[in-house]
Amino acid sequence: MTIYVNGEQKEVAPGTTLAALIEVLGFSSRRMAVERNRSIVSPDAYPETILAESDRLEIISFVGGG
């Protein structure tokens, strides 16, 4: 099925969770924010959030430094 991540089209299997997508994309779930269809998703909900056809995700990863 087709979803969009940060404006880029991606193909994922039906039933893919947000947590699984984050892992495949290599993001650190501890230092990020995810918006799904213009709504913020709580990190606690990542494992139970099942992606749907045409979902639009914005994933922002925070980078520390000094």
Q: What is the CATH number of the domain that holds 28?
A: 3.10.20.30
- Token pair for 1: 């099925």
pLDDT digits (tens, 9 = 90+) for 6-54: 999 999 999 999 999 999 998 866 788 999 999 999 999 999 999 999 9
User: What's the pTM value of the predicted model, to 2 decimals?
Assistant: 0.88
**Which domain covers residue 48, as residue numbers?**
2-61
Rg of the chain (C-alpha set): 12
- The answer as to whether 54 is a domain residue is yes
Q: How many CA atoms lie within 13 A of 34 on its CB side?
A: 25
Domain count, the chain: 1
Residue 3 near residue 51, CB atoms below 8 Å: yes
Whether 66 is covered by a domain: the verdict is no
